[in-house]
A and B are shown apart, each in its own frame.
Chain A
Amino acid sequence: MSTPVLELIEERDGDELWLCSPDVGLFTNAQLPGDLLAAGALAGQLMILGRAHELRVPARVQGRVQGSSPELTHQPVAYGTRLYHLSPLGDGALDTPSHAPQDQTLGTDALVLKSPQTGRFYHRPSPTDEPFISPGQRLVAGQEIGMIEVMKTFTTVSFPGGSEWPEKIHLKEWLAEDGAEVTQGEPLGVLEEG
């Protein structure tokens, strides 16, 4: 049986960069201070209920391990515990943000559907059903486009239609993935006339 692999979580605060534990477990075989970590490399193991899980450095990350080694050979860690403090190497490689803020990519005149509530947004009525709508599909007023789950209660989200919107309009692309956590007013998808 092959060893399962978990991806380390990248945490940035200004210029500082950490790699954090993706789960609860005992952290072992840690890389030592001074070691180089690069995207895709394996960097230690997490023992979960006695089973080893390899820890992988996520894409776009590289750096040299700073600070000191863990105090224990099996260091108990939680989800989000900082495992490695990295000093960045080279330039550019680390500065590329993984995703630009969504509003900037939209421009000022873009037509967006905004989330009416804070919660989880779903594209489909249930995991086994077809999506309510797909990119390219024409929308009419009142059409159901998705669902929001707030505190276990599901509410249908509909395209409002009306005079503020072009007569003929379709979904260009989703910005919020199926099952994404969204906040009130966050753009869910981009619409396009035609």
Chain B
Amino acid sequence: MFRRLFIANRGEVAVRVARAARSLGISPICAVSEADRHAPWALAMDEVICLGPGNPERSYLRAEATVQAALQTGCAAVHPGWGFLAENARFAALCQQHGLTFIGPSPALIDSMGLKWPSKQAARAAGLTLIPGSEGLLRDVDEAIQVAARVGYPVMVKADAGGGGRGMRHCSNEEELRQGFAQASAEATAAFGNGDLFLEKCLENGRHIEVQILGDRWGNVLHLFERECSIQRKHQKLIEESPSPALNDQQRQDLGRAAAQAAAAMNYVGAGTIEFLMDAKTGNLHFMEMNTRLQVEHGISECVTGIDIVREQIRVSAGEKLETQQAEVSLQGHAIECRINAEDPNHDFRPTPGKLTQFQIPDNLGPGTVRVDTHVQQGDTIPPHYDSLMAKIIAHGKDRPEALETMRRALDGLQIEGVTSTTPLHQAVLISDEFQSGTYNTGSLPGWTPKR
């Protein structure tokens, strides 16, 4: 096992990884920016090393400086957390080149999952169902029109190299497709130097359901069941729960098995997540993408399975075997997570950096148990450089109603002042009919109307 682990990240995930490292007797060392050098969360580390100024491009996103910092602090392995360098194949390769263990899958696998069409091919080869659409990249607009006629409108044209919503167009008919094809291709050429497009049927008001995977170097792959992540705003997840209220036991077992088999076919090592879109009409689950890293919402899977995902991630990277067999993984109750962000939901989710004059989240109001994953405390200033996540509240109950009630009490008892947070949104969604009945989808935020 490693003696010292380098954490190439900040804030909440850095603290989470440090906790897992300590549970294995490993000393956590962390990269910090100038803006974070004196942050209270950095005290969770045995040592910190400053990489550069607050702007992430000059600190947390610098692959060479990060590797140099890991080497000169005597670390044997690097955990990239999520965001920043976590899905950067070049960084993973650079770590290996300098003799550091990168905690994640191989650079080649990260690379193939980062491009849209290659990742779909790999998923299909591994036995997963794709969203109906074009067979590979489109030759021209005529082929796009043919494919659209086959799968039915509305459709989405997407750039192979796309990301962040660029090079994507939603088209409801042939006329829009002619226009959208040209625009998306031009946009992708300008932004990514690659105008290749493919086409998919647009599955509106579907549900986002993802499966947590763990693999070791000995060919063992486990799934930890699914997470339902359909409560989103602009593709940002806000509330997640496990298990999904949209699946019955048979569907749950089938989905988990299919995802685990796919990951095994890719020789997947480490923690990963396969994301599916559930068609509202047919109930079929289609592969969307695979994230080759730890996810923000991993905590709910830990609560319902009792498995520490980050600890396992570190163990398998050190060459150890997974401790658990699939048959031993069972669902224990129900867990819900609310992301408390420094954003004003009444003003278009405007970020609200500032000083937290009050910050208290109660974890003892019952009826179930509450876990709070956070890196901030009362008196902290939320810096403007980084994302707005302040805390994740995870409520665990013996069943869904108990988990919901536990979350409701925690949110009602929470005190955050000085910074506007997304708490009112969570309270409103939780008591909405759609959320209570579990019939919500990615199309809306049920129960929420902004007050102006």
Identify which of A24, A118, A181 contacts B72 (C-beta below 8 A).
A24
The reply to whether A181 and B350 contact each other, CB–CB distance below 8 Å, is no
Q: Given B49, B342, B388, which contacts A78 in the complex, CB threshold below 8 Å?
A: B49
Cα–Cα, bound, A35→B61 (Å): 36
Q: How far is the CA of A128 from the CA of B192 in the complex (A)?
A: 12
Any B CB within 8 A of the CB of A120: yes
Q: Which of B15-23, B52-60, B423-431, B443-451 contacts A (4 or more CB under 8 A)?
A: B52-60
Q: Which of B73, B98, B351, B353 contacts A49 (CB 8 A)?
A: B98
Q: How far is the CA of A128 from the CA of B190 in the complex (A)?
A: 10
Are A48 and B65 in contact (CB-based, < 8 A)?
A: yes
CB-contact partner of A151 in B51, B67, B388, under 8 A: B388
A41 at interface, CB cutoff 8 A: no
Q: Are B387 and A24 in contact (CB under 8 A)?
A: no
Q: Which of A23, A117, A128, A152 contacts B65 (CB 8 A)?
A: A23
- Chain A's closest residue to B32 (CB) is A78
The residue of chain B having its C-beta at the shortest distance from the C-beta of A153 within the complex is: B351
Q: Which residues of A contact B65 (CB under 8 A)?
A: 23-24, 48, 79
Is A76 located at the chain interface by the 8 A CB criterion?
A: yes
Distance in angstroms between the alpha carbons of A23 and B183 in the assembled complex: 42
Q: Decide: A151 near B353, CB < 8 A? Known: A25-B68, A49-B67, A79-B50.
A: yes
Using a Cβ–Cβ cut-off of 8 Å, how many residues does chain B contribute to the interface with A?
30
What is the bound-complex CA distance between A118 and B352, given in angstroms?
10
Query: Smallest CB–CB gap between B203 and chain A, Å?
Result: 27
Could you tell me which residues of chain B, from 137 to 166, have a CB within 8 Å of some CB in chain A?
none
Cα(A152)–Cα(B67), bound, Å: 25
| Contact yes or no, B52 A79, CB < 8 A | yes
| A81, chain B: closest CB distance, angstroms | 8
B384 & A150 in contact (Cβ 8 Å cutoff): yes
What chain B residues lie within 8 Å of A63 (beta carbons)?
none
B174 shortest CB reach to chain A, Å: 31
* With A23-B65, A76-B73: A150-B49 Cβ-Cβ less than 8 Å: no
Is B395 part of the contact surface with A, judged by Cβ < 8 Å? Answer: no
Q: Give every chain A residue within 8 A of B72 (Cβ-Cβ).
A: 24-26, 76
The answer to whether B34 touches A79 (Cβ under 8 A) is yes
Nearest CB to that of B73 among chain A residues? A76
The reply on A125 being an interface residue by CB < 8 A is: no
Chain B residues with CB under 8 Å of A128's CB are 190
Interface set, chain B 372-404, CB cutoff 8 A to A? 384-388
B69 in the interface (beta carbon within 8 A): yes
Q: Which B residues are CB-close (under 8 A) to A152?
A: 387
Within 8 Å by CB of B350, from A23, A76, A153, lies A153
Q: Is A80's CB within 8 Å of the partner chain B? A: yes
Interface status of B64 (Cβ within 8 A of chain A): yes
B64 and A78 form a contact (CB under 8 A): no
Whether A24 touches B54, Cβ cut-off 8 Å, given contacts A49-B68, A119-B384, is no
A25 to B67, CA, bound (A): 10
Task: State which of A26, A49, A119, A120 has its C-beta within 8 Å of the C-beta of B64.
Answer: A49
**B contact residues around A120 at 8 Å (CB):** 55
Q: Which of B49, B52, B353 meets A118, CB within 8 Å?
A: B353
Bound complex: CA of A118 vs CA of B388, how far in Å? 14
User: A25-B68, A151-B342, A153-B351 known; A78 and B387 CB under 8 Å?
Assistant: no
Chain B residue nearest in CB terms to A51: B64
A-B contact pairs, 17 of them (CB 8 A): A23-B52, A24-B50, A24-B68, A24-B72, A26-B72, A49-B64, A76-B72, A78-B50, A79-B50, A79-B65, A118-B384, A120-B55, A151-B351, A151-B353, A151-B384, A151-B385, A151-B387
Binding site for B on A (CB under 8 A): 23-26, 48-49, 76, 78-81, 117-120, 128, 150-153, 155, 181
